[in-house]
Structure 1
């Protein structure tokens, strides 16, 4: 049984009459299950909207998927020149502020990650993309379990060192609000 046969057996894909493959109905069912059991969007999106309103930059929420990170929710900056992300985008976990936070607060060892844990946030400039800077903090639930990382990202020329602390404070307020509302 090849991989397409296996995916067809579980209705992950269906074979069309012309021989091409399309996504199958079980993926729709899985998506609906996720929305009802794991979707935090109703809680996170208002925080992202507040961050974008306050900073005029892109705000995102990432989760760890093994050795990658996924942009689960985002709201792009209203500015025409901006850091643009798509929900569902997979990025390397070992570069960029959100990846570094996800690693640090998942127990990654080393002085670099100890420093992130001590500060409570990561700030990256041009690490994944030479034109982008980002600040990220871990989002913890009431039990202290990391649920993901929330960030503000912008063109590197706009996210300058003098803006780090004010944005960190905004992100901390969002993390606190989410901690009080996320299911444990």
Structure 2
């Protein structure tokens, strides 16, 4: 706190009020030993920024659109997305709210587990669209889902298996980043 007061040039009382408000709104968190860090409302935003290059890698490796989702009640929200380079592609705009009960991203966010580590959707959310998703885990808790989606014609079961392994690796990488945001 002393450092914040010194760096900001704001009075100690005002700094305390600002910090208390930021903690109250989830933008800051205070550890047991009093240290301040990014709060729970900032972690997803930071993860989305860090995930963007990973989504580009995932898109380039699979050829399909890639997305990062977080749970919002009984829906999922797209935090970050990169579209396929193909003319025929799926598009999920950032900020979109989708049903949690349909699609592989929703399955991954609900916290179930699979032997393969990934979830598959074939025309569940939209006709002609397939997707593969894996959960992003931090401390045994699902915090997000990373997905690839595209036309069902390009995403047969052989392609889905290959993409699934790639998506699982991307989710594992993002899991390690998520905790350092």
CA contact 2:59–2:66 (8 Å) conserved in 1 = yes
Cα deviations by residue, 1:126-181 (Å, 9 ceiling, x for unpaired)? 0111110000100012x222111000100010111111121111112212211222
Structure 1: 4+ residue segments shifted above 4 A: none
Q: Name 2:135's counterpart in structure 1.
A: 138
Q: Name 2:20's counterpart in structure 1.
A: none
Q: Tell me, which stretches of 5 or more residues in structure 2 are unaligned?
A: 1-24, 29-38
Q: Name 2:17's counterpart in structure 1.
A: none
Cα deviations by residue, 1:86-116 (Å, 9 ceiling, x for unpaired)? 000111111111011112x1xxxxxxx5xx4
Q: Name 1:50's counterpart in structure 2.
A: 57
For the aligned residues, what is the CA RMSD? 2.2
Give secondary structure in 2 for the equivalent of 1:119.
coil
Distance 2:73 2:98 in 1: 11
1:173 maps to which of 160, 166, 169: 169
When normalised by structure 1's length, the TM-score is: 0.71
Q: Tell me, which stretches of 5 or more residues in structure 1 are unaligned?
A: 1-29, 106-112
Q: Name 1:5's counterpart in structure 2.
A: none
Residue 42 (structure 2) pairs with residue 37 (structure 1):
yes
CA contact 2:122–2:152 (8 Å) conserved in 1 = yes
Q: Name 2:88's counterpart in structure 1.
A: 81
When normalised by structure 2's length, the TM-score is: 0.72
Give secondary structure in 2 for the equivalent of 1:117.
coil
Distance 1:99 1:124 in 2: 10
Aligned pairs, number = 143
Give secondary structure in 1 for the equivalent of 2:52.
helix
